[in-house]
């Protein structure tokens, strides 16, 4: 039966059609994928339809394209002001009818392709992590990686009770873990060394509150840190390079035999000292205003144990 509606290909007048949004209809079994561009387009269409009070065109057209009757995946929603109606039109059909927007269609296809690739990458990454017995890594990533607000309840639950350097270190460990997972999603593989590092990060993250409780208990029995030029001995419990005015400097945290801790530059003569080993130092100490059991050391000098 020949079509007589005004939206048939031979009756199209390009100037009467206005592009409102780009959408897509997934293949059977694929399931629709939510991504940022799709959300923006849906909202644009919703607001436009609310403003006009329009409705979708109702006429016999065969497939899901309201103009040519073909079937599509990517399509655009056009507004026809003369009938106050909306039409789903495939990109190819719209282009042939001289109502297409090459840039908008190209950007949409790129966004949708990226969304499908991301979905596939996430599925593969999850499987790889599960096979490596790193399910916890995926749990943390899928729960927290899109929550950038530190007041979000998921973040709060993870970091609640942590303070000072431990809070900063745990947050850094979480973001490092996320970076590794994102690279796994993008490239589809992870090295054995990275796998071991992910396991270490998980342990640090999940044990952070236990570590905080241990530190809090130790602080109760620690003596106040002294001031001035002091000789002391203790255990190096952490070290890292910190960018400073004179370039990168090796800094370290030492827990003394009296329980108080000091943060200072590690002298070059003992720079090879490993975390967990004992050190003997002389330094000028300044006690923290917030914690009487913590001091900052200046002009450190290594002594013999």
pLDDT tens for 140-184 read 998 887 654 455 677 778 888 888 878 988 999 999 999 999 999
Higher pLDDT pick, 28 / 150: 28
Hey, what are 55's tokens?
A: 């409705």
pLDDT at 76: 96
DSSP 87-140: EEEEHHHHHHTT---HHHHHHHHHHHHHHHHHHHHHHHHHHHHHHTT-HHHHHH
287 Cβ neighbours under 8 A, 6+ residues apart: 224, 225, 226, 227, 294, 295
pLDDT at 267: 95
Hey, what are 34's tokens?
A: 């939510």
Q: Is pLDDT of 29 > 70? A: no
pLDDT tens for 43-101 read 999 999 999 999 999 887 777 899 988 888 899 999 999 999 999 999 999 999 999 99
52, exposed or middle or buried, with CB in 10 Å at 0-12, 13-18, 19+? middle
265-274: long-range pairs with CB below 8 Å, 24+ = 265/297, 265/300, 266/236, 266/239, 266/300, 267/300, 267/301, 267/302, 269/302, 270/302, 273/236, 273/239, 274/236
pLDDT at 28: 67
Name the maximum alpha-carbon separation found in the chain.
101
pLDDT at 204: 95
Percent of the chain with pLDDT over 90: 69
pLDDT at 153: 74
Higher pLDDT pick, 191 / 30: 191
Mean pLDDT of 225-246: 92
Q: In terms of pTM, does the model score above 0.85?
A: no
pLDDT at 152: 64
pLDDT at 174: 93
Length of the chain in residues, anyone? 305
Tokens 């909202």, residue located: 43
From-to residues of CATH 2.40.50.140 in the chain: 222-302
How much is the mean pLDDT over the chain?
90
Can you tell me the distance from the alpha carbon of 86 to that of 253, in angstroms, rounded to the nearest whole number? Answer: 67
279, exposed or middle or buried, with CB in 10 Å at 0-12, 13-18, 19+? buried
pLDDT tens for 108-124 read 999 999 988 888 999 99
Domain 222-302: CATH superfamily, name plus number: Nucleic acid-binding proteins (2.40.50.140)
Q: Is pLDDT of 137 > 90? A: yes
Distances (CA, A) of 114 to 71, 81, 301: 22, 34, 56
């Amino acid at each position: 039966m020949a079509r007589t509606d005004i939206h048939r290909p031979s009756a199209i007048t390009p100037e009467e059609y206005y592009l409102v949004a780009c959408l897509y209809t997934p293949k059977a079994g694929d399931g629709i994928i939510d991504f940022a561009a799709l959300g923006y387009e849906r909202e644009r269409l919703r607001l436009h339809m609310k403003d006009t009070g329009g409705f979708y065109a109702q006429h016999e057209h065969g497939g899901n394209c309201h103009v040519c009757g073909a079937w599509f995946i990517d399509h655009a929603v056009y507004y026809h002001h003369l009938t106050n109606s909306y039409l789903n039109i495939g990109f190819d059909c719209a282009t042939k009818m001289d109502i297409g927007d090459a840039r908008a269609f190209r950007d949409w296809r790129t966004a949708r392709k990226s969304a499908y690739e991301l979905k596939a990458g996430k599925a593969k990454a999850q499987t790889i992590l599960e096979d490596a017995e790193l399910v916890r890594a995926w749990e943390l990533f899928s729960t927290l990686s899109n929550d950038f607000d530190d007041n979000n309840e998921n973040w709060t639950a993870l970091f609640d009770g942590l303070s000072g350097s431990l809070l900063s270190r745990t947050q850094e460990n979480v973001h490092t873990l996320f970076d590794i997972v994102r690279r796994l999603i993008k490239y589809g593989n992870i090295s054995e060394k990275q796998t071991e590092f992910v396991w270490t990060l998980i342990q640090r993250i999940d044990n952070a509150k236990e570590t905080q409780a241990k530190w809090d208990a130790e602080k109760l029995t620690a003596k106040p840190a002294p001031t001035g030029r002091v000789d002391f001995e203790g255990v190096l419990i952490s070290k890292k390079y910190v960018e400073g005015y004179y370039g990168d400097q090796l800094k370290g945290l030492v827990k003394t035999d009296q329980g108080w801790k000091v943060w200072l530059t590690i002298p070059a003569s003992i720079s090879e000292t490993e975390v967990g080993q004992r050190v003997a130092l002389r330094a000028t100490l300044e006690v923290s205003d917030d914690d009487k059991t913590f001091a900052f050391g200046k002009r450190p000098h290594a002594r013999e144990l």
